[in-house]
Structure 1
Amino acid sequence: MPRLINPVGWTLWPDTSSAGASGPSLEDPKSQVWPILSLRNGSGHAFHIHAISDQLVRVIHTLPEKFGGRTYLGGQAGRAGRGRDGVAWERALGQGWSVKHDESRKRATLTSAAVLGGLAGIRIHVDYSHAILLSWMWVDAGAENGFVFLKDFKHAYRYDEKSGRAFHYVCRESYMPLCEEAQSANTNHPAHPAQNEFVYGLGETKGPMMKAGKRYIIEGRDSLAADPEETDPLYKLCPFYSVYNAETRFWYGLYYNTLSPSIFDLGGEHDFSTGNFRSFCAEQSPLDYYVLLGSHELSGNVRPRPSLPGIVSQLAHLVTPHHSGALGDTSNGRWQASPHLPPLSQFGYLASSLTLSERSDAQAAVIDYVAQTRARGFPIDGMHLSSGYCQDAVSGDRNYFTWDRSKYPDPEAMGKELERGQSCQLIINVKPWLLESHPWYDEAAREGAFVRAAPDARPLEGGSAPTDADRCGAYHTHPARTLHWSVNMGDTGKGSYFDFSSVRGCQSWQRMMQRGVLDNNITGLWIDNNEFSTLVDDDEELAGQVAAWSSPFEGACDVPSATGLHSEADAMLKVEVQQRMGGSTGDHFTVGTFGRGVLTMGMARATAEHLLRARPHARPVVVTRSFVPGMQTFAHGSWSGDNSTTWKSLKWSTKMTLSTGISFGPGLYGHDIGGFAGAHSPSPELLVRWCQQALWHTRFTVHSWKKISTTLWMYDHVPDVGRILREVINFRYQLIPTLYSLYVTDYHRRGWPVLKPLLWHHSYDRITLTQDEQFLLGSHLLIAPNTTQGATSVDFHLPGGQIEPIWWCNFHTGVWTRLPVGGADVTEDAALDRCPALMRAGGILVLASEVGQDALSTSRSGRIVSIYPAPIEAATSCSGSFVVIEDDGCSNAATTSGEWTEYEVFFQSIAGSQTVQCGFKLLHGGFAGHWDLTFKLPRSDTRRLMPLGDSAQVAEVTDDGLQIRVTVAKP
């Protein structure tokens, strides 16, 4: 049993009052930064509150040194570059806080500069008379007092005296049932009117989007055939959640800065005698968390209350190896989610099949699959090559980067034929280990590329055998031996993990990439099984030489960088992110509970680095299964792992998408369409419904592990199914201009998801707070996929206006529906060939007017601009706009040299008028080309379209609509 102790006996750390009163100036980024309040006790505990800005505060509780509490890496204290208590503190970005002490009562009040200046902001009350208790208060502009939005529970900072686990408890609303019809959060239902606390986040996890009342383990696992409602943990790590209070309409976020396995109890645990609490537990100390309140920008002279979009953006900035670039958001220092964009091809149809890659004639079969897909009327842009390509012809062992020449007699010719001849990108599966049977294992082991065995498993003296040959290989570098997947499910063999914190480990990995992948004309890497979950000995060692959260791209890529955008302060921010996320470098450390996340990040970094070094002008393709905060810097694409071919998996994947998106997960995200695991193939109905749901996702991949691979044409013999699936794929390709533009403007610049929950824009409507089976594409288009077997309609809640009624237009029929304040429950037709979708008045959808056999390219410049002004019977004026991004879709010129074009399409209608005015505004003209825009109204809307302003010079009104040409000359 653990020994849970709440540390007491706190006193002020000397000299903290003078250190925190003003903070450093922005003009001096090198100045030493201290917490505004530090406490310690006689048992070796320390507690710090560091105000980074008016809207971002960091809290750290470090344990005595015997628990390794002074650093994140293997219990080594006093690492270079760290300040008080071994912590690297961020620069303060705002003005000074007021710190008032009452030493006699052992209390302190910390007031943000915003509140002192009469603006809205936070005040923190600290009581350390016994155990530490923090109470966080929001004060509206000009108010004397505010309301408490976050409060520590009575034993907030417990720790386990035996293991050193660190805990954080906060108060929550009562868990007592409010009515006799009370249901679990797993049941998609409106919350009781008396429920005020709603919790979201944790990334890709089980269960519903709203997570109050649930318990979660955050740790990477290889969760084959996961039950999306109950399986826990899954593949990815995201120790962040946000809370919304419906009574105060207040948002805040909590980010726990750890890569250790952790447990979030959001109300699953009940203890009547103790009270109501939420808790967090980190397997390894220290406890290090941030309170996020969004951006600190003003709207006029008023600071609005925190919002979910602002909090998600703040999280994105916090975890990303900071990079400013030409395509970044100018209002946020040109911040970008990654120094590069994914190729446009990654938004197209990406095929995959484990069975196909293992066929005896696999090379011919893979080439034929791409040709057959197009011949049957389906565009295709990518082909994932599963691990069957590398199976040893005799043993069956999967030896990554090598090729089974009986199945793939000429992989170089295959790569050339697919990537150059058929314009279909190959994405090859690799895993972070080598089996000892691998022909390149000895070379890598001798040069020290692998994780090092624990000290008690190594030889006792030079040249002697390992003391534990089961855990240590017989090389002078002492590679750790671990069990890894080898042939079939459950088959394992001895091997070693690459050490991606080691220079030699990264170099060895990159040489194998070159030999096995790039030299074979293959340009995409699918880094799989990168949870490192079979690395089970915490005493094994990592070199600690490579900073996983540092950007390697300036040195790895010879394309011009965004000159003039990188400042000394920007460089400091990069250092801060590395220190925050991955600790210091330069000395080895044990795996501990932290090292697996470092390796996950390091694998993506090493892969992207070499792709850019080898092909500096091409956008890298790195698809990852596991994910840690900040990993989108190196790996754009991800999916929810090895799901099952079930209706349940389809229904719950929508909830998972939304949860991942509002936790700043991967930007290109989706699910294995049709399901990966299961002896059965998807039925025609399930395959259609899955494709209809997935077509709106940023990543669209059909992937399976079946005796007969799942294909888009497998049910051509079933009436209507083949036609429906072709219509779905064609519409997917028409949608790419919108998906790509939203990816850039929302995700790449702000960290926002492309697919958003309804509460993102409609949180004033309480029903949307638990609504997680429908979603928004961008801001106005609502999608309600049919995920119920046999159903021909979908029932859901449609939000109404906050103050006035709003109008929604049926995307398929053009029929408008007026929604009163409070919204209404609706039923929409969802016959097999229809995925219900509705556009809110003011919306715009930009589609490609033509679809080829591969992804949309600049040569296809037609754009259909569907506009949705409120209907004339609404008797109200209406306007709308949408920003379109155009570039070459394949090079890094947009992010490094400003070679992209950005234009805004817009409309406005006046109440009672029989005309609607449309136009465009060029915002950035860095990429030459012309785009023919055809503005169209919904079906049955008979108003005339007229060009507005300068657009009239290039406009023509035709029977098809208003046509406008956007032309950008070569800069």
Structure 2
Amino acid sequence: MKPPKNVTFFPLFFTLLVLPSLISSWKKEEFRNCEETPFCKRSRSKNPHSCTLIATDVSVENGDLVAKLVHKSGDLEKGSGNFTLKHLVVGVSVYKNGILRLKIDEGPNLGVPKKRFEVPGVVVDEFLSGKVDLRGVLEEKIGDDLEESWVFEVCDGYEGVLRRDPFEVFVREKEGKSRVLGVNSNGLFDFEHMKGEKEEGEEWGEHFRSHFDSRPYGPQSISFDVSFYGADFVYGIPEHATTLALKPTRGPGIEHSEPYRLFNLDVFEYLHESPFGLYGSIPFMMSHGKDKGSSGFFWLNAAEMQIDVLGSGWDAGSDNIAMVQSDQKRIDTLWMAEAGVVDTFFFVGPKPKDVVRQYTSVTGTAAMPQLFATAYHQCRWNYRDEEDVYHVDAKFDEHDIPYDVLWLDIEHTDGKKYFTWDKLLFPNPEEMQKKLASKGRRMVTIVDPHIKRDDSYYIHKEASQKGYYVKDASGKDFDGWCWPGSSSYIDMLSPEIRSWWGDKFSYDSYEGSTPSLYIWNDMNEPSVFNGPEVTMPRDALHYGGVEHRELHNAYGYYFHMATSDGLVKRGNGKDRPFVLSRAFFPGSQRYGAVWTGDNTADWDQLRVSIPMVLTLGLSGISFSGADIGGFFGNPEPELLVRWYQVGAYYPFFRAHAHHDTKRREPWLYGDRNTELMSDAIHIRYTLLPYFYTLFREANTSGIPVIRPLWMEFPNDEKTFGIDEAFMVGNGLLVQGIYTARAKDVSVYLPGEQLWYDLRSGTPFNGAQTHKFEVSEENIPSFQRAGTIIPRKDRYRRSSTQMEHDPFTLVIALNSSGAAEGEIYIDDGKSFEFKEGEYIHRRFTFANGKLTSSDIGHSDGKSTYSSPCTLERVILLGLSPGYKTALIEPGNKEVNIELGPLRLRGGQGAVVPTIRKPNVRMAEDWSIQIS
């Protein structure tokens, strides 16, 4: 989150040893690189085709393909101590929608003291119920192999192959046999068996700086290569502050490059253009290419992971017989993990949206947020007291700037004890929340996983008595340093402990909380100021004897889960929760929003926020954003304005700042800059109906709210490397301004259709790069021809006060004079939408007629009632000559007039408009123009 504000509570030795690393900017030497990480160094040293494993004893059991992996020299391998390693066990399963699952674990053995950790609570039950029995299992010789392998159906058009010798698993097209995705195609598979006893002279422990990791079970890493065939680029594996398309990390001409690291860390003032791991980890990668489309790969593993993207020619000079098809373009990658098992998923695509749907069918789609959460949030470390809260709230009203949520950081607590209030600064927290709620506004307070070791603190007292803390390697409650000083950490792996934690959010337990208070989980990597790499030691122990090294990347996920479930429990299961988390893991999308952490107020960080948020969306986490203005530093006014203009299109739209920065609320930079920031915020509120509809799409299908251009235009090669522009849904294209005092900007508009400037309505041709003069008023943004965008144009204090406001539809006609779009409406807060309590309409414009039809209910009826009406219809690209519109039902005729486009920051454009058709949004109707 941030460096200490006040360190007087730290013992002198801790201050001297740790404080320099916390109050200075990020330093590479404070964190391990691959050379300093033994498992990574060992895995990277493997030569292509060095794997000597073969598959044997293959059979079909319970609908799965089961086999043993043994060495060519025999099925027995002498282990250390008094046991013999017998073999690895392979299981191949097939699931609906084109998904293959490959699991590999140690076979039966003697002397190993524990079972390897398999990550629970990530794969959703709906996916597991979709397993299908293997069909069409045949034996076939692959290439010049001497022995037969096993081929089986994955889905229509695709089949899987378990290759015997050399061992390999891949998916290929049925026709033509072109490969899609393969594991161990380059023979880099390696599996270090856990050991029961040390051999003489053997040392398992590892040192890093002043820290020692005992590694009581010895080396246990796993590594293997994954090949993406037909790929031009690969994407994914957040979180890294780098380009959307992942760059090669090994190969000819690439020197001293690090793998992409997945290891959740509290990284202070992180650098852009770096493969260094940040706050969250999602071991999911997808490829895309013009010829073969998209495919994806996911490894469910919560240990530290390092991933190489291998550049062309990385394996030059290998003397071994090539295992892969040399005539297919591909991108090879190397995946390395410190512990765990092989539990991997192949996604065949073939389109980008197919891959995202397939991945989120495994880990779950995004939770449907409350409407207020999709609006603007105001935060800083810290709003000082109740007077400060009321002052900031009043200033938003004074300057006619809407906002929905005001946030409180750690200083609101009593001595940094969570679930408490500083009684001098916040003596009346319930009254404060209720005053904001009267305007339709909410509050968020911070709750972190480190618990102050204070016997008078009820959370600590209960957790200590019940044994609910993570243990150190000796079995005692782990004691680390964080904001309160000496702290222990709740063991969130245990379902019992998660349930107990959820109870702490009840109104009786969390005194001073109200139904309008929501939660922020920070520091949940977990952050430990005096720990190795500012986190928990790897040999710390969790529920069931699981080592922290095995679940590290999922710790914050379980904390997020428990908090979210606690808010649901608080409201008796009626209201949707809102919980923001800094750490994340696959499945985090089911529990709330995330953000990109402690960024900095500079132009490069503004620019890199776009690929970071896009990558999160590709990986299932649609509800994300970056701190507007940068957490650290003082942004120049131009940078702050440009950040608001881009950030208004982030799915999660929050301004946040470090306590050492100057106050930067939108009215503090002069009248003109206030106007520009206000315009950007108003645009977000105008587009809330569109955003909310996109959040529903993410909730039902997994497709992210904002998307790379190539997701909507998968055959346009010019889009594959673009990550400064992005799509909001399928209808809007946004291009940020990422340099100071820019005079112009080039924007590539893909596709063959027109694009209409969002503020002027001016049309521009697609499949071209256009150069636009840059103005301070806005950033280039366009509506795609053939789409219909819903808006609400009346200015209110908050989204809650917009609930019954009428809608505007902006119709951008294509060359055929047609367009279509959707709108989703519900009560904005409850779970009743799961019972059909919503409105979901499709709008279609063709042959001069606009129609609204229900698409959300199989019986054609919506059970949710809304008084909202349609106030205006704007027709971009309408041919001259149309004068009137006939509205049914009602047989009402109105004129088509020239009216203002009316988007804040616009240029006073006038466009053909149908005013006050006044049809109800929940009903069927039509408007015929003539």
TM-score range, shorter chain: 0.7 to 0.9
Q: 1:345 maps to which residue?
A: 372
Q: 2:157 maps to which residue?
A: 120
Q: How many Å separate the matches in 2 of 1:67 and 1:524?
A: 49
Q: 1:387 aligns with which of 410, 415, 424?
A: 410
Q: 2:169 maps to which residue?
A: 134
Q: TM-score, normalised by structure 1?
A: 0.75
Q: 1:849 maps to which residue?
A: 793
Cα 1:147–1:953 shift into 2, 3 Å: farther
Q: How many Å separate the matches in 1 of 2:891 and 2:838?
A: 23
- Per-residue deviation, residues 384-435 of structure 1 (Å, max 9, x unmatched): 111111152xxxxx2222222222222232223223x333211100101212
Provide the secondary structure at the position in 1 that maps to 2:498.
helix
Q: 1:738 maps to which residue?
A: 690
Q: 2:292 maps to which residue?
A: 249
Are residues 1:480 and 2:523 paired? no
Does the CA contact (< 8 Å) of 2:401 and 2:797 recur in 1? yes
Are residues 1:280 and 2:335 paired? yes
Q: How many Å separate the matches in 2 of 1:283 and 1:625?
A: 23
Q: How many Å separate the matches in 2 of 1:964 and 1:841?
A: 25
Does the CA contact (< 8 Å) of 1:349 and 1:381 recur in 2? yes
Q: 1:898 aligns with which of 829, 836, 857?
A: 836
Are residues 1:645 and 2:686 paired? no
Whichever residue aligns with residue 676 of structure 1, its letter is: F
Q: 1:794 maps to which residue?
A: 745
Does the CA contact (< 8 Å) of 2:632 and 2:661 recur in 1? no
Q: TM-score, normalised by structure 2?
A: 0.78
Q: How many Å separate the matches in 1 of 2:306 and 2:889?
A: 56
Q: How many Å separate the matches in 2 of 1:827 and 1:811?
A: 16
Q: How many angstroms does 1:671 deviate by?
A: 1.0
Q: 2:254 maps to which residue?
A: none
Q: 2:363 aligns with which of 301, 307, 319?
A: 319
Q: How many Å separate the matches in 2 of 1:774 and 1:807?
A: 17
Does the CA contact (< 8 Å) of 1:917 and 1:946 recur in 2? no
Provide the secondary structure at the position in 2 that maps to 1:223.
coil
Q: How many Å separate the matches in 1 of 2:692 and 2:95?
A: 34
Does the CA contact (< 8 Å) of 2:539 and 2:549 recur in 1? no
Tell me the number of residue pairs that the alignment of Structure 1 and Structure 2 aligns.
781
Does the CA contact (< 8 Å) of 1:452 and 1:542 recur in 2? yes
Provide the secondary structure at the position in 2 that maps to 1:878.
coil
- RMSD over aligned CA atoms reads 3.1
Does the CA contact (< 8 Å) of 2:293 and 2:352 recur in 1? no
Cα 1:945–1:163 shift into 2, 3 Å: farther
Provide the secondary structure at the position in 2 that maps to 1:447.
helix
Q: How many Å separate the matches in 1 of 2:463 and 2:855?
A: 54
Q: How many Å separate the matches in 1 of 2:582 and 2:881?
A: 49
Q: How many Å separate the matches in 2 of 1:95 and 1:169?
A: 25
Q: 1:464 maps to which residue?
A: none
- Per-residue deviation, residues 705-737 of structure 1 (Å, max 9, x unmatched): 1342221111124xx222222222222111100
Are residues 1:700 and 2:653 paired? yes
Does the CA contact (< 8 Å) of 2:470 and 2:489 recur in 1? no
Are residues 1:611 and 2:611 paired? no
Q: 1:520 aligns with which of 508, 513, 537?
A: 513
Q: 1:156 maps to which residue?
A: 188
Does the CA contact (< 8 Å) of 2:240 and 2:274 recur in 1? no
Q: 2:99 aligns with which of 56, 61, 70?
A: 56
| Structure-to-structure mapping, 1:370-769, within 5 angstroms | 370-392=393-415, 398-419=416-437, 421-437=438-454, 439-440=457-458, 442-454=460-472, 457-458=474-475, 472=476, 479-486=477-484, 493-502=485-494, 505-514=497-506, 517=510, 519-521=512-514, 523-534=517-528, 536-543=536-543, 588-616=544-572, 617-634=574-591, 636-665=592-621, 667-678=622-633, 681-705=634-658, 706-717=660-671, 720-745=672-697, 747-769=698-720
Q: How many Å separate the matches in 1 of 2:76 and 2:817?
A: 66
Q: How many angstroms does 1:951 deviate by?
A: 5.8
Whichever residue aligns with residue 686 of structure 1, its letter is: L
- Per-residue deviation, residues 337-368 of structure 1 (Å, max 9, x unmatched): 43xx3211112211101032xx3xx1211122
- Give 5+ residue unaligned stretches, structure 2: 1-37, 78-86, 194-217, 250-258, 320-330, 529-534, 857-861, 900-912, 925-930
Q: How many angstroms does 1:654 deviate by?
A: 0.9
Are residues 1:907 and 2:905 paired? no
Q: How many angstroms does 1:764 deviate by?
A: 1.4
Does the CA contact (< 8 Å) of 1:67 and 1:163 recur in 2? no
Q: How many Å separate the matches in 2 of 1:815 and 1:609?
A: 48
Q: Which moved more, 1:36-45 or 1:251-260?
A: 36-45
Q: 1:35 aligns with which of 57, 65, 68?
A: 65
Q: 1:577 maps to which residue?
A: none
Cα 1:621–1:649 shift into 2, 3 Å: same
Does the CA contact (< 8 Å) of 1:920 and 1:951 recur in 2? no
Q: Percent identity?
A: 20
| Structure-to-structure mapping, 1:101-116, within 5 angstroms | 105-112=146-153, 114=155
| Structure-to-structure mapping, 1:66-105, within 5 angstroms | 71-73=115-117, 92-93=131-132, 96-100=135-139, 105=146
Q: How many angstroms does 1:508 deviate by?
A: 4.6
Provide the secondary structure at the position in 2 that maps to 1:279.
strand
Q: 2:828 aligns with which of 889, 897, 922?
A: 889
Q: 1:190 maps to which residue?
A: none
Q: How many Å separate the matches in 2 of 1:9 and 1:506?
A: 41
Q: How many Å separate the matches in 1 of 2:115 and 2:239?
A: 28
Q: 2:804 maps to which residue?
A: 860
Q: How many Å separate the matches in 2 of 1:930 and 1:74?
A: 50
Whichever residue aligns with residue 411 of structure 1, its letter is: P
Q: How many angstroms does 1:704 deviate by?
A: 0.5
Does the CA contact (< 8 Å) of 2:118 and 2:341 recur in 1? no
Does the CA contact (< 8 Å) of 2:687 and 2:791 recur in 1? yes
Provide the secondary structure at the position in 2 that maps to 1:536.
coil
Whichever residue aligns with residue 278 of structure 2, its letter is: L
Q: How many Å separate the matches in 2 of 1:833 and 1:500?
A: 47
Q: How many Å separate the matches in 2 of 1:197 and 1:42?
A: 42
Whichever residue aligns with residue 100 of structure 1, its letter is: E
Cα 1:815–1:49 shift into 2, 3 Å: same
Q: How many angstroms does 1:451 deviate by?
A: 2.6
Provide the secondary structure at the position in 2 that maps to 1:422.
coil
Q: How many angstroms does 1:221 deviate by?
A: 0.8
Cα 1:526–1:172 shift into 2, 3 Å: closer
Q: How many Å separate the matches in 2 of 1:524 and 1:388?
A: 17
Q: 1:814 aligns with which of 761, 768, 772?
A: 761
- Per-residue deviation, residues 619-660 of structure 1 (Å, max 9, x unmatched): 2111111111112222x2221111111111101111111111
Q: 2:734 aligns with which of 760, 780, 783?
A: 783
Q: How many angstroms does 1:123 deviate by?
A: 4.2
Q: How many angstroms does 1:309 deviate by?
A: 0.3
- Per-residue deviation, residues 264-303 of structure 1 (Å, max 9, x unmatched): 1112694643498420001113222111114xxxxxxxxx
Q: How many angstroms does 1:941 deviate by?
A: 5.8
Provide the secondary structure at the position in 1 that maps to 2:379.
strand
Whichever residue aligns with residue 189 of structure 2, its letter is: Y
Whichever residue aligns with residue 735 of structure 1, its letter is: L
